[in-house]
Amino acid sequence: MVRPLHPKERQVYSRRAFLTRAAAAGVALPSMAAILAACGSGAQSGVATSGGATGGGENAYGTGGIAGAAYPLARPEAPVTWTVDEANLIASDLPPEENATVKMLRWPYYFAPAVIKSFEKKYNCTVEQTEFSDMDKGLAKINTGQGDFDLLVGMNVWALGRSIAAKLLRPVNLDYIPNLAANCWDSFQSPFYDVGSHYSVPYSVWSTGIFWRNDMVTQDIAAMANPYDIFWDGAPVDKTHLLANAQDVLSMSMFRDGLTDVNVTDADTINAAKDAITQVARATNAKFDHVDYTDVPKGQAYLHQSWSGNVSDAFVFLAEGDQAENLSYLWPVESGVPGNVDNDTFVLLNTGKAPVLAHLLLNHILDATNAMTNFASWTGYQMPQKTMTRDALVGSGLVPDHLANTYIVEADMDRGSRELELPATADALWQSAFLELQAGV
C-alpha cells in the first residue's frame, strides 16, 4: 500500500532513505503515482535487473536488449538491433552538398584541426564546430533542435538508445563509409549496442584504471593482488583524486569486490559502493575531477583513477626536469581483477542540413592516415583501427614504453566490463549516490 508521508515522518528519514527517495523524486515527477510509490515503498519496485531480463526490451524502437526503459537497453549478452528510421536515411550515391557547412558538435579538444582542414579542402566545404562539456549537455543541445547540427563526435554508448528513441539521430548509410569495414576492428563492425551499425560508428576506445606517480606512491601497485586496494590502503592524503562521474567512481568499488557486471540496479549494492568510496574520500580528502592528465604530471595528485586516453599523453604536461618514467598506469584487468573498458561513437543528427557531407566526414575520419594524425597530433584517445596496434603506437614514440598499457588491443574489449545505460530509476540511484559522495554526507 503506498501513501504520502506526513511531514513529521520525513524528519526521521535516514540518509539512506534520503538517497533512495532523492532518486525516486528525481525521475518520477511525470507520474505522481510513481512518486508516492517511491515515498511509500522504496524506489526499486518494478525496476528490471541487469541480469535475467534479457529479451524483455523488444518494442517499436528496436529488438533485443533488456527491459527497464521505453526502449531496449543494450547489453553484450543482449545486443540491440535498432529499427531504422527510413524517412531520415539518405539514399546511396548522392553527390555531396556544394559549398555547404557541416555542423559538428563535439567534446573539447576532441578533434585534430588538421583532419578537419583536409576534409574542407577535399570537399570545398566548411566544418563548423561547437563544443559540449559533458554528454548530458550535448544531449540537451541537440534536443532543443537548435543549431542544425549534422553530427556529434563522442556520443557515449549509454546515450545512444535514448537518443534514437527520442528521434534525434539519423540512420547511417554505410555505403558512404567503406572505411568502417576496411579499417575498424572487427568487433566494431556490428557492436552489441547497435547491431548492424545502423546509427553509429566507433570513435575512440579506452580503459579505466589507476594512474600514479611512482616517485611519490611507494607501494608497487602493479604487484598488488587487487590493485584497487591502493585507494583504501595507503592512498596519499590530499593527493588522491577520483573520476567525477557516478558510474566510473562507484563501479571502482564494485570491481574491487569482484563484480564483473556493474550495471546493477539494486539500491543495496549501489549504497555499499557509495559507502566504500566515501571511506576513500574521507580518509584521503579525495577530489573528484576529470583533469588527471594535468593533475598527476603536475603533482596535484599522486594517485588518480583515470581513463587511459587521458594518461597516454599526460607526460606532455610534466614540469621541466620531471620525467615520464615517474608516471605509471595500470588497468586492473591486467592483474586479474575486473575493470572497465569502453568506447564512444560518431552519430549523425536528424537536424543536419548536409547529411551526405556528414557521412563523408565520418569516412574521412576513419581513414587510417587521418585517424593516426588525429591521435598523434591531438586527442590521445586511440581509435579502434586495425593499423593502430600497440606496437605501432609505441614504436612511433608517441608514448614511453612503460605506458604502452594505455593502449588497448581488440581482445581487451572482451576482457573488460562495460558501464552501460541503466533503467531510469536505477540511473537516478547512481546519480543520487554520486551527489551524496560529492556533498560529503
Partner 1 sequence: MPATVFLLVFFVFPFFVVLAVAFGGVSDILREPVPAWNPLAWNPAVVTFTISNISHADGLYHSAFLRTFLYVGSATLLCLVIGYPFAYFLARHAGRWRGLFIGLFFAPFWISYMLRMLAWISLLEDDGLINSILLRMGVLNTPYPWLAGKPVTLIIGLVYGYVPFMVLPLFATLDRIHPSILEAGHDLGASPAQTFWRVTFPESKQGILAGLVICALPMFGDYFTQQLLAAGSGTRMIGNAIVDSLAIPIFVPQGAALILVLLALLIVPIVYYLWSTQRAAGQVRAA
Work out which of 27, 115, 116, 356 binds partner 1, going by CB under 8 A: 27
- C-alpha cell of residue 133: 562539456
**Residue number with CB closer to partner 1 (188 or 302):** 302
Residues between 42 and 81 that touch partner 1 (CB under 8 A): 69-71
Binding mask 139-158 for partner 1 (x = CB under 8 A): xx--x---------------
**Residue number with CB closer to partner 1 (308 or 310):** 310
Work out which of 1, 11, 95, 121 binds partner 1, going by CB under 8 A: 11
CB of 71 to partner 1, least distance (A): 7
**Residue number with CB closer to partner 1 (285 or 369):** 285
CB of 67 to partner 1, least distance (A): 14
Give the range of 84-92, 93-101, 279-287, 362-370 binding partner 1 by CB under 8 A. Answer: 279-287
**Residue number with CB closer to partner 1 (35 or 152):** 35
- Count of residues interacting with partner 1 (CB under 8 A): 56
Separation CA 107–CA 141 (nearest Å): 12
**Residue number with CB closer to partner 1 (317 or 378):** 317
**Residue number with CB closer to partner 1 (98 or 134):** 134
Distance of CA 192 to the CA centre of its chain: 15
**Residue number with CB closer to partner 1 (122 or 282):** 282
Work out which of 2, 18, 351, 409 binds partner 1, going by CB under 8 A: 18
**Residue number with CB closer to partner 1 (141 or 353):** 141
Interaction between residue 136 and partner 1 (CB under 8 A): yes
CB of 377 to partner 1, least distance (A): 26
Separation CA 417–CA 419 (nearest Å): 7
Residues between 164 and 203 that touch partner 1 (CB under 8 A): 165-166
**Residue number with CB closer to partner 1 (299 or 400):** 299
Residues between 227 and 256 that touch partner 1 (CB under 8 A): 238-239
CB 156 within 8 A of CB 68: no
Interaction between residue 317 and partner 1 (CB under 8 A): no
Interaction between residue 258 and partner 1 (CB under 8 A): no
Q: Which residues bind partner 1 (CB under 8 A)?
A: 7, 10-11, 13-15, 18-19, 21-22, 25-30, 32, 35, 69-71, 134, 136-137, 139-140, 143, 162-163, 165-166, 238-239, 281-282, 285-289, 298-300, 319, 424, 427-428, 431-432, 435-441
